[in-house]
């Protein structure tokens, strides 16, 4: 598969990247989110230092990833508990009717 050479702009700097074609859309969407977030931080908190803006942007994205991970783990734990309870109920029914 042939790689694409693209350029993205983040915080007034241009970065050349070489990516797989299937990655381009995701990268461009991520860049757009970063640019939107940096503009909001600059406007709402009057941040002017690009390094501070990008640090807070990175912190916000990382915290979103971690929160999603925590929620997914909790969801898996809840599903696991429900399956265990379901299996116990099924075992009870099978024993009751001498199927097991």
CA distance 41 to 52: 10
Residue 100's pLDDT is 58
Q: Mind listing the pLDDT tens digit of every residue in the chain (100 residues)?
A: 799 999 999 999 999 999 999 999 999 999 999 999 999 999 998 888 999 999 999 999 999 999 999 999 988 888 888 889 888 888 888 888 887 5
Residue 46's pLDDT is 86
Classify residue 20 as left (phi > 0), alpha (psi -120 to 50) or beta: beta
Domain parsing of the chain, residue ranges: 4-96
Residue 1's pLDDT is 79
């Amino acid at each position: 598969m042939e790689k694409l050479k693209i350029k993205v702009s983040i915080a007034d700097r241009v970065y050349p990247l070489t990516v797989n074609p299937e990655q381009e859309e995701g990268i461009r969407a991520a860049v757009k989110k970063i640019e939107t977030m940096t503009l909001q931080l600059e406007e709402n908190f009057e941040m002017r230092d690009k390094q501070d803006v990008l640090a807070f942007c990175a912190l916000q994205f990382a915290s979103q990833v971690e929160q999603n991970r925590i929620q997914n783990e909790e969801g898996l734990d809840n599903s696991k508990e429900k399956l265990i309870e379901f299996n116990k109920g099924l075992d009870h029914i099978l024993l009751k009717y001498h199927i097991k």
